[in-house]
Amino acid sequence: MEFLLVVFSLVLVLATKNANGGGGFSFDEYYYQTFGGNHLTILDQGNEVQLLLDQSTGAGFSSRRDFGSGYFGISMKIPDKNSTGVDTSFYLISVPVGQPVGGVKHYEVDIEFFGTNGNPHVLSTNVFMNDFGGKEQLFHLWFDPTVDFHKYEILWNQNQIVWFVDETPIRVWKNMSNRGVGFPAVPMHVEASIWNPNWLGTIDWRQGPFTAHYREFPINGCRYQGSNPRDCFSQNYYWNQPQYSQLSPDQQRKLREARRNYMFEDYCNDPIKKGQECQFNQ
Ligand SMILES: *[C@@H]1O[C@H](CO)[C@@H](O)[C@H](O)[C@H]1NC(C)=O
Ligand SMILES: *[C@@H]1O[C@H](CO)[C@@H](O)[C@H](O)[C@H]1NC(C)=O
């Protein structure tokens, strides 16, 4: 009888664990903390993480693995106060954690929120390609990102990089390396953080502390094993299959609409900053 009870409770525990929806995986399985000490808090049995920024520090985390392709995503809710100066991010980067930029070729694909005082929050997308950055496209989204969790994703395969917000594509960077446009041919890992870059302006600390929340940690990525990067181009990974090599007509329509309605700044309109990629990524 006792034995049966034990078995029964075990089954219950397992069932409860699986009932956590698709997010039944813990933060620890995919990510580790990179900075911020106790400013990172694990909530909901590892299914949610809070990052906190105050005058002493922000906080951040990194994927445990390097990747060569993937469909990377996370759910995120950003600080809900007057938050000018606060940066909440989710991005891919080639520079190893803790190493200064310059050690390896710098590739980066960014999704970042710039906090504001009352105005709509700014979603910034940017890239570094072969050490060149300054390719920002800025959006005011169609919802308030401080109220609920929303899904932010980056698709990266041999043909394109696509930024998605709640499954709507908002930006594309095509692989036009045959036309001299940069495209990441090196492993990247995922990072996320809350911090206060000095170029974003002065924070009103009376509003603090600022907290960002993240969920849905599983990573759909091809683990880069340091042997052959081409292994990550295999069609065994669903994100490398033909339907992911370019946007569908429906996605292209959504992309155009999102950019027309919500993008308010584009480096491609700046004669000094624009690059030749601008002609391919419309
Ligand atoms: C937030 O900033 C706006 C504009 O500066 C100001 O009107 C408002 O009072 C601020 N709110 C708080 C809670 O400080
Ligand atoms: C970019 O596309 C070219 C074909 O035009 C291909 O040979 C190359 O492997 C691609 N680069 C990456 C990093 O996926």
Report the CATH number that the domain containing residue 160 is assigned in CATH: 2.60.120.200
Cα 17 to Cα 13, 20, 47, 48, 49, distances in angstroms: 6, 6, 11, 14, 18
54 part of a folded domain: yes
16 part of a folded domain: no
* Helix segments in 120-178, DSSP class H: none
Residues with Cβ within 8 Å of 249's Cβ and at least 6 positions away in sequence, in order, are none
**How many residues comprise the chain?**
282
- Position 25 scores a pLDDT of 59
- Position 18 scores a pLDDT of 37
Q: Does residue 84 contact residue 201 with C-beta atoms inside 8 Å? A: yes
Q: Report residue 146 as tokens.
A: 């401080």
Amino acid identity, residue 67?
A: F
Query: Which residues in the chain show pLDDT less than 70?
Result: 1-25, 227, 282
230 CA: nearest ligand 2 atom: 9
Q: Identify which of 80, 81, 82, 204 to mutate to test ligand 1's pocket (most ligand atoms within 8 A of the CB).
A: 82
10 part of a folded domain: no
Closest residue to atom 12 of ligand 2, CA basis: 158
Please work out whether the CB of residue 245 comes within 6 Å of at least one atom of ligand 2.
no
210 part of a folded domain: yes
User: What total number of domains does the chain contain?
Assistant: 1
Distance 36 CA to ligand 2 centre (A): 37
Distance 90 CA to ligand 1 centre (A): 27
Closest residue to atom 11 of ligand 2, CA basis: 158
- Position 185 scores a pLDDT of 87
Query: Hey, which residues does 172 pair with through a beta bridge?
Result: 162
18 part of a folded domain: no
- Position 246 scores a pLDDT of 96
Distance 139 CA to ligand 2 centre (A): 29
Residues with Cβ within 8 Å of 215's Cβ and at least 6 positions away in sequence, in order, are 23, 47, 48, 49, 74, 75, 76, 149
Q: Residue 195 sits in which domain range? A: 23-279
Q: Which of 47, 41, 67 is nearest to 229 (CA)?
A: 67
64 part of a folded domain: yes
* Full-model pTM: 0.90
208 part of a folded domain: yes
257 part of a folded domain: yes
Phi, psi angle pair for 86, to nearest 5°: -90, 135
Closest residue to atom 5 of ligand 2, CA basis: 178
